[in-house]
Amino acid sequence: MMEDLEKVKKEIEELREKIRYHNYRYYVLDSPEITDEEYDALFRRLLELEERYPMFKSPDSPTQRIGAPPKKEFKQVRHEIIMYSLQDARNEDELKEFDKRVKRLLSMPSDENVEYLVEPKFDGLSCEITYMNGILTVASTRGDGFVGEDVTENVKTIRSVPLRLFTENPPPKLVVRGEVLMKKKDFEKLNKLLSDQGEKTFANPRNASAGSLRQLDPKITAQRKLDFVAWGVGALEGISFERQSEILNTLEKFGFKSSKPRKKANGIDEVIEFYHYMENSRDNIEYELDGIVVKVNDLKLWPRLGETSRTPRYMIAGKFSPKRAETVLKDVMFSVGRTGIVTPVAILEPVYVGGVIVQRATLHNFDEVKRLGIKIGDRVIVQRAGDVIPEIVSPIKEKRTGKEKDIIPPSHCPVCGSVLVKENVYLRCVNMSCPAKLKGALKHFAQRKAMDIQGLGEKLADMLVDKGLVKDIADIYYLRKKDLLRLPGFAEKSASNLIQGIEDSKKRPLARFIYALGIPNVGEFTAQVLVKHFKTLENIKNAGMEDLLKIEGFGPEIARSIYEFFKDKNNLETLHKMFEQGVEPIQEEDVPTESPIKGKFFVFTGTLSSMSREEAKKIVEGMGGIVKNSVSRKVDFVVVGKDPGSKYQKAKELQIKILNEDEFLQLIGKKNEAI
């Protein structure tokens, strides 16, 4: 009997090795040696033996890629070594400036060449995977660079990720860093499937990758064809490297795909040559790229070059020019957000821009419409800002026929018909019962960082308002299972789960509750500061303007927003209705109030796509930062939008930290929500 078990164990081990090898051939090298039928036969035999002899099951077995139960939430994982973001170079000149800075910091002669390794900059989701003694143990997202989310079970479903390293002598610890991606062809197939099923599609492969990796149910992730490309390492034990090129070569031997095509460049001229080659050939690469990454190849030089607070000085991202296309502006619709701001949205003749069909583009506000001088019927140039957000660059005025029509700002809300109010460059609907505002407010209230009501997303929020089941936010606490069972897509279990999710949300930290209310100018950090200062909701409700202005970083705009919100009778009635149903926010003892930008000086130049400069200023000041009008050596950050002015050049001359819009939003803890 013992001899039979030994035979079984040996067969299981041999099957695992064969399947690992053929997975590597198929998913990493794209060069299979056996047919799908032969592979399936091996896999079925392994499953059969592991089920019959469970004592031989192993976490690194190919059969364990899928099968973990759904999670309720993602746990946090702290990175041992910070996962930095990269500074951007937008053209040849900025790449040359990077080279000059490297040489200056290393005290090298200007005519001497630095050896660089140049790799593609994949447009995906950064991820870190830890191997202990060769076995995959933990995988996490980049998060804020310090702390990410535990996505171990989901990463295990990615076939190009080895569960066990391909080496007989694995290091005690190896932390592999790379990008979770989706091939362009797989992205198109996924969107077609979602569209056929009547579900919301993804805007681009990056969003599809991020949305698929962050599924609470690994089985859903497994159905999406995700890929992983390694580009570096984190913490190490028992192994060391001298060059970045050596890291990538070793990771390939361990069973990973690594950054390709790549080039070892002798000096910045060869870097620039490869930069142009990659920009011209990116459409032929199976993944979406938004640039190149230039790394000093000699790792001994990295500590000498060091890092800033957010970016390493030994590498830089060379960003490609945005992809552009010509199309027709067919019409303009007016979208109403949760704060009531009316945004003009361009309806376009569908056009491919960078491999994605673009049918809409934001026009930001009516001042931007006037600046562009755009008309309905114009032929226009469209680009994807950062290769993601569609926007109109300009009309082609010489192609006008005379039939084009002016874009007239609406005088009344397109959803509820209320008179619109002009606020700076925006038009705003002030009707609290406006269905568009209510839908947005519901989505905001239920989101994970607010009240975290699982299952209450965009689709359901729209349905609840359209069906008249929710007329203000408090009405969600009056929903009953029988109400939900009358809605399409709901069964006994899903209705029970949502009701339980609503019940669970009744006791959330007070700061999250304040944030969830959607008070204008009050984000997560401002809500935390507010709670830290006043302690209780009652104190916040009773605070006067003078009390609010005493809080460091609170200007008149923020103070007025809070004061007016809690003096509004409708808002107080909504709160009363919630409390009647048992909503009881919890006062946490230690509310974190450290702001990453407290005391820092900012200057803005150019046009931001996700907000106005005035809004950005309010956010910075609300987080304890200071906004200046001119660039000097005292300035910490210069935030650069579209068409920057002379402040950008001066910031470069003074070597002040320059942030693009995405980096700025990341710094203040926001996402780019532009259309």
Instruction: Check 18, 72, 100, 121 and give the catalytic one.
Output: 121
* Rounded-to-integer distance, Cα 73 and Cα 389, Å: 29
Q: Which amino acid is at 273?
A: E
Closest CA to 360 of 550, 203, 243: 203
Q: Nearest-5° angle of CA 485, CA 488, CA 491? A: 45
Burial of 528 (0-12, 13-18, 19+ CB in 10 A): buried
Strand partners, 658: 638
Q: What are the φ/ψ torsions at residue 377 (nearest 5 degrees)?
A: 100, -10
* Rounded-to-integer distance, Cα 255 and Cα 167, Å: 9
DSSP 69: P
Q: Provide the H-helix boundaries in 393-491.
A: 435-446, 458-466, 481-485
Q: Is 121 a catalytic residue?
A: yes
Q: Which amino acid is at 307?
A: E
What does the block give as tokens for 51? Answer: 């089920």
> Distance of CA 156 to CAs 282, 289, 465, 504, 661, Å?
29, 24, 39, 30, 33
Strand partners, 230: 178, 258
* Cβ neighbours of residue 1 closer than 8 Å, sequence gap 6 or more: none
DSSP 397: G
List the 637-640 sheet strands across, edge first.
626-627, 601-605, 637-640, 657-659
DSSP helix, strand, coil percent of the chain (3-state; round to 5): 40, 25, 40
Q: What are the φ/ψ torsions at residue 472 (nearest 5 degrees)?
A: -150, 170
Question: Which single residue is written with the structure tokens 């990758």?
Answer: 209
* Rounded-to-integer distance, Cα 610 and Cα 8, Å: 60
Question: Which single residue is written with the structure tokens 């204008």?
Answer: 520
* Cβ neighbours of residue 257 closer than 8 Å, sequence gap 6 or more: 28, 160, 227, 228, 229, 230
* Rounded-to-integer distance, Cα 103 and Cα 375, Å: 50
List the 88-89 sheet strands across, edge first.
88-89, 315-319, 289-296, 115-122, 263-266
* Rounded-to-integer distance, Cα 494 and Cα 482, Å: 12
Catalytically active residues are: 121
